[in-house]
């Protein structure tokens, strides 16, 4: 069985997703969390079957 590594399409390989924006004093900050699709790795490993 082979494994195929692909860039996560949900986070575009960053491992995190932006869930909103906020402001602290005069600075705008991003609110981010770990990507649930790739679990923060930025890539997805899928097993492919060979014949």
Dump pLDDT digits (tens) for 1-51: 688 999 999 999 999 999 998 888 888 888 999 999 999 999 999 887 765
Contact call for residues 19 and 31 (beta carbons, < 8 A): yes
Task: Give the structural domain span for 21.
Answer: 3-47
Closest of 34, 29, 32 to residue 15, by C-alpha? 34
Dist CA 3 CA 50 (whole Å): 10
What pLDDT score was predicted for residue 3?
87
Domains in the chain: how many in total?
1
Look at the block and give the residue holding tokens 């960053």: 14
pLDDT at residue number 43:
96
């Amino acid at each position: 069985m082979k494994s195929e590594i692909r860039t996560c399409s949900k986070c575009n390989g960053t491992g995190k997703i932006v869930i909103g924006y906020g402001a602290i004093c005069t600075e705008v900050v991003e609110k981010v969390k770990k990507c649930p699709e790739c679990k923060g790795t930025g890539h997805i490993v899928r097993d492919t079957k060979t014949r």
